[in-house]
Structures are given as structure tokens and as C-alpha cells.
Structure 1
Amino acid sequence: MHGKAATCLTIKLTENSVSARVQGAAARCDVEPPMNEWRVPADDVPHTRTWMSWPSRRSVWGRRLAGVQQDIALIARTVAAYEPVIMCAPDETAARAARAACGPGVTVIGSIPTDDLWMRDTCAVFRRDGRGHLDAVSLNFNGWGRKQTHRDDAEVAWGVAEFNGIPISEAGFVGEGGAIETDGDGTVMATESSLVNKNRNCGMSRDEIEGEVLAAYGAEKMIWVPGVRGRDITDDHIDVTSRFAGPGVVMVQVPPDYRNDVWARDAREQFAVLSAATDAKGRRLQVIRVEGPDTVRSRSSAFVDSYLNFHLVNGAVIAAQFGDARKDDAARRTLAEAFPGRQVVQLDVDRLMDGGGGIHCSTMHEPIP
């Protein structure tokens, strides 16, 4: 870990995690090419599988747990129709419940303990070198800036790398997978509110954080948007509002004109910043405007009404719908145009989205090397 970040964050290592890291280091000696060849690919590359995590703690979800479990099972079964899914469960009791809910098409394992379901933020970020090799990087998950204690989740990246038998290293910054979007062609983007934040990267300047993100992702240019600090647990992850649809192409969800809350202002600002930005190749970004829903079924202030928190799988786009027929259909058409050749599947996962995250937040893709 970067020395300046380490002064403000301590990650507890268990004996098992130390063993995994030692094994990973040994594997790197055998297969790792020069670091500048590693790159995190875009989400739309072919996948080996999707990783997920089974929610089981009533201390986290309370009375909402059963509903959230049903939504996670629905996502897992839907993804499994297109590519393999591995669901991590914290113990055998949880594993039995996950198997019963997800069915035989989903592989449930208990060898990688987890605290919660947000696999996008806790899982290893996979990288390829273009020569058939795969490795992983840990973003040093710390409970979204120490807002919650996630001791098992802090070790998930290492467990996934060990499961796959691939090398893993620590990024030089603290963050989460949902905080950073990459086009796989040299450009990444993120909110300043999430990464340039003392609760994650105390003592590091924006330039220092940017350098470490580019090094970890194998990218050449980072586009920053301001974001919203301290209003949700993630400090405003970019994958709720802005997503890459391909090199030089970004999708941004904007709210109805009547909304002027902090999230609406944030979305309009992201749209403006990205509309004026260029990528690592010097291309002016093409920004696709996605209209957010006018109405939703939930009354929760934490509800994530994002069409763009979708998960790409082999042959499909798995996205949310909110019961707003006109806007749901418009979003489906836009996603189909952005990802030609993929079926768009829209799910009602309101109970998950009441918890402050969505389909992308609960999944992590593993690319084919």
C-alpha cells in the first residue's frame, strides 16, 4: 500500500490472508510480465464468470434481509442464463440458503467469507496483459471510508485471487471498484468526492491518487467529476450516474427537469464535465443522455433510481426497471443501441436498490484472459 495512505488506514491481516498473499507473490514471479502491460479491460469484454456475494446478516439488513436475498437470487439466476456465477457465502448455513434461492445454475461456495453483498467494491479488480495472462489488484477496501466494519470483505479480493490461482497486488490507494469506470482503452473516470477523501486516502493529493489509479488500471488519462461528499455511504460512486459504453463513448443519466436535489445537480454537473472532456486518445467524448425515471415504486430516501447501474454479461445487459413504463422502455432502447447484439433484461430489484446500491454494485465480472 502507498505509504501516505497507510498512515491513515490499517487493514487487519489474518493468517489465511497472509498465506494467500505469499502464494500470490510466488505466482507473480512465474508469470507476471512488466507492470506497464497490465490493463483493466472494459466491462464489455468476454467474461469467464460473474462473482457475487450472499447477504446473510440481519445486523446489516434487519427486516429487509429476506427481500434483499430474493433480489440477489434473481440477479444471480438471470446472469447465470448467460455466464457462470460464483456466489460467495459467509458460512454453511448461508450457503444452504443461497443454493435453495439461486438454484442449481449458480455455484455457491463458502471458502471466501463475506460480510455483505457489494461484490463490485470488495472483489479483486481483474487485469489482462494481452498475452493470455490474468492478474488482480486489491483496492484496499476499508468499509467506504471506515463508515462500516467489514473485516471479511477487506480480504475478499485476496480470496478470489487465491481461488483462481492468479497473482494479486495492492493498489497504491484506497477505493472501491464502483468508484472507478474504465473504457479499457487508456481512460478512467471517477468522482473526487469518493477518492480524494481523507476517509480513504488521507494525506494524498489528487495528483498522487490519480497517479496510483492510472498505475493500477494500466491507463493514461483520468477524468475527474466533483461528486457529492458525505451524503451516501460511497461518497457518490460514479457507476450510478456515468458509465463507459465504449472507447470515447459515455452514458450519463440525468434527472427530470423538476428535480433540483443534490443528486440531480450532481448528475447535471457530470453531464457537463464529460461533455467537454477528451479521452486518452484525444477524442472528444460522445455523451449519451439517459433520462432517469419520473416515478419509482419506493419511498426510501436511499433508493438508487439508476438505469446505468447495469451489469454487462456475455450476450446481455442486466439492468433495473422502476415501473415507469415510458422511461423504462426508453432506457431499454438506449442500452440496446449502446450495446448492439446484447439482449437487454430489466429486473425489478427495488428492495436491493432501497439499500443504496444496484445490480452493478452487487456483481463483479471476471474477464477471459
Structure 2
Amino acid sequence: MQENAKRVMPAEWEKQRLVLISFPHEETDWYNVDNPVALEESLSPFIRIAQAIAYGEAVYIICKDKEKISNMFCSTRNMTFIEIPTNDTWIRDYGYISLKEDDEVKLLDFTFDGWGGKFEATLDNAVNKTLYTKGYLGITPLEQVNFVLEGGSIESDGKGTILTTSECLCNPNRNSGLSKKEIEEKLHTHLGAQRVLWLDHGYLAGDDTDSHIDTLARFVNQTTIMYIKCDDTEDEHYPALLKMEAQLQGFTTTEGKPYTLIPLPMCEAKYNDTGERLPATYANFLITNDALIYPTYNDKNDARVGELFKEVFPDKEIIPINCLKLIEQGGSLHCSTMQVVY
């Protein structure tokens, strides 16, 4: 890093060059030997997400068999299919994190260890280097960082503020459980963070990420945060999300003013075939150049959430995509994508 270089992690709503997405295949957990058709069914939301992104910008699709996957699309406009081995599909957490250094774009390749060693991730951790070596990112500089950090664990307002959770970043299963102060120093060094807003409460049952911020609370502009709110006092999430809301209410912008807070409803409980609750969340939306793409779950709140997004993003196309298949594997729409900025 250049001495005295000014670094900042762009906000998601800034101009994007492309979005990365990684498709399921027979060597991922998406494959069920007792029900091979399930893999084909799982491809449906990935296809729809890629189509929604390609509406306004380029999509790089990481896959095992590019001929097979490309033939599943009616149109491949704005799509590039790239064969790279992967363990799983959650490229939000192992894809490049975009950085601007003195207004020049740089790509950061942090270490990905399968959410604290829960899953094999050697192939996923190598995707960024492989993609770069193949030349798909041109001459954009790449910096490899020997520090565990997942894209879904951090939110940036594009002006030096990072929003995150202590449950994830300070977890002993990542970076040996560094303190908040030590983590803040890392975020300052690598991402140019001027301050870090820590959420100490909030979780989703069935989530393997140790409370990623993109399942709970999201910046939608520099003064506004959308977050998950639980109104059902009988729901197991109610106490923790109530504490999270109170903490959000205490946060202030860099100008010292309270954030505008927009609650997103909690989904009705969704379960898999063995009765385990799944991490359904409306906070896992994606902001692209021309659209706001959000997950739906065959839930009574799906349409209501769409109306909320229309109010917050009046100049964008609001695109709902059914993500029930995604949460069966522990993630959702935002987890499946990673943007690269100009």
C-alpha cells in the first residue's frame, strides 16, 4: 500500500463494473445423490438472479460446465461464463472486495476459511486468484490480504463508515478472536475505515455465518439503514432483534445525527424437511446499477417488502426473486453475488 494513500470501500449503490455469481454443481452440497433432480431445481434462482443483474450490467458466472450453464439461458447478453472449481456458491464471502485508493479501483482478496472452518473452502479461497490469472479483470490491481474477512460480514457507506457485527468479526473461529480495537485497526489499514459501527445483538436461526451483517442490517444511503424487525414476541428472535434495534437507534452519522431507520418485516418461520428453521431474511437484497433485486419466500410479507423498496429506491427497477431454494443451503440472494466497482 502506498504511504498516505487514501483508501475507502465503496458503497454497494456506487457504479458497478460487474457482478460475480457462482453456480451450483455436482461437487457442491447442492447435489443430493438420492434426488439428482434437486440440483436442477436449485439452479433456477441462480439463473433468475443472473438475468436480473444482466438487465443493467455485466455478470461473470463462475461454473463447472460453461456450455451446460449457458444453454439454460434464453439470452446470454451481458453474461460471461467462466469455468473455475468451487466448493460452494456463496461468492459474497470469497469474492473480491472492491476498494478505491486515491480514487483508483483495487481488488482485495482476503482469506476465506469456510466461516470459521465449518466447511471445506480451499477451492473457494482460490477463486479470486484464478479469475485474476485468467485475465478477466484486466489490469485492475489485485492485493492479497492474509486476514480472514467475508464480504457479507461488512457494510460500507462509501465514506469511511463500516457497519458489522461483533459475533462474526470477533469470533474466535476467525483470526484467533481479535478484539474490536484490533479488528478496527485491520479495517482501517485495508479498507480505509474511519470508524466502525458494531452491532452486538441479532442473529438468524439456521445461519452458518455467525451473524453476517447482510442478513440483519444494510446501508441504503449514507444516512439510512434498513434492518430486520421482529414484532412477534413469541418468536425466538424477538429479544435479540429488539436489542439490535435499540443499538441501531443509538448510532449516529458522521454529522452526529441519528440514522433514518427503515424496518423490514421478519419472515414467517420457514423450515426444511428435517424441521430445522431456515435463515429467511429480506435484508439479503442486492443493489445493482439499474435494479434493486430482493429475495421472496412465498411469504405474506413479500409484496409489502417490495413496496418498501419502491419507496427507498424510486429510480430503480424492483425485482423479486423466490429464494426458498437458497435458504435451504443457508444463504440467500445477496450471499450469492459480489459486485466489482468501476
TM-score by length of 1: 0.82
Correspondence 1:279 to 2:253? yes
Write the mapping of 1:1-369 to structure 2, written as runs, cut at 5 A: 34=3, 36-63=5-32, 64-89=38-63, 91=64, 94-102=65-73, 103-105=75-77, 106-110=79-83, 112-129=84-101, 131=103, 133-162=104-133, 163-164=136-137, 165-171=139-145, 173-202=147-176, 204-227=178-201, 228=203, 232-261=207-236, 263-294=237-268, 301-325=276-300, 327-368=301-342
CA distance in 1, matches of 2:288, 2:204: 31
Determine what percentage of the aligned residue pairs are the same residue.
26
Larger proportion of strand: 2
Question: Structure 1's 291 and 234: CA in aligned 2 closer, same or farther, altered over 3 A?
Answer: same
Any idea what the Cα deviations from partners look like across 1:226-267, whole Å, max 9, x if unmatched?
Answer: 245996321111101100011121111112324431x44332
Structure 1 runs (4+) greater than 4 angstroms displaced: 32-35, 227-231, 295-300
CA distance in 2, matches of 1:219, 1:160: 27
**Structure-2 residue corresponding to 1:16:** none
**Structure-1 residue corresponding to 2:35:** none
Question: Structure 1's 36 and 76: CA in aligned 2 closer, same or farther, altered over 3 A?
Answer: same
Structure 1: which 5+ runs fail to align?
Answer: 1-31
For these two proteins, the number of residue pairs brought into alignment is 330
CA distance in 1, matches of 2:56, 2:67: 23
CA distance in 2, matches of 1:298, 1:218: 41
Q: Secondary structure at the match of 2:18?
A: strand
Any idea what the Cα deviations from partners look like across 1:179-218, whole Å, max 9, x if unmatched?
Answer: 1111111211111111101211105222101210232221
8 Å contact from structure 1 (residues 310, 317) kept in 2? yes
Q: Secondary structure at the match of 2:48?
A: helix
CA distance in 1, matches of 2:221, 2:192: 17
Q: Secondary structure at the match of 2:292?
A: strand
TM-score by length of 2: 0.88
CA distance in 2, matches of 1:338, 1:223: 22
Q: Secondary structure at the match of 1:266?
A: helix
8 Å contact from structure 1 (residues 161, 167) kept in 2? no
Q: Secondary structure at the match of 1:288?
A: strand
Larger proportion of helix: 1
Structure 2: which 5+ runs fail to align?
Answer: 33-37
Question: Structure 1's 83 and 57: CA in aligned 2 closer, same or farther, altered over 3 A?
Answer: same
Q: Secondary structure at the match of 1:121?
A: coil
**Structure-2 residue corresponding to 1:14:** none
Any idea what the Cα deviations from partners look like across 1:249-295, whole Å, max 9, x if unmatched?
Answer: 1111112324431x443322221111111234433222111112346
CA distance in 2, matches of 1:34, 1:52: 34
CA distance in 2, matches of 1:242, 1:230: 16
Deviation at 1:88, TM superposition (A): 1.0
The amino acid that maps onto 2:332 is G
Considering only aligned residues, what root-mean-square deviation do their CA atoms show, in Å? 2.3
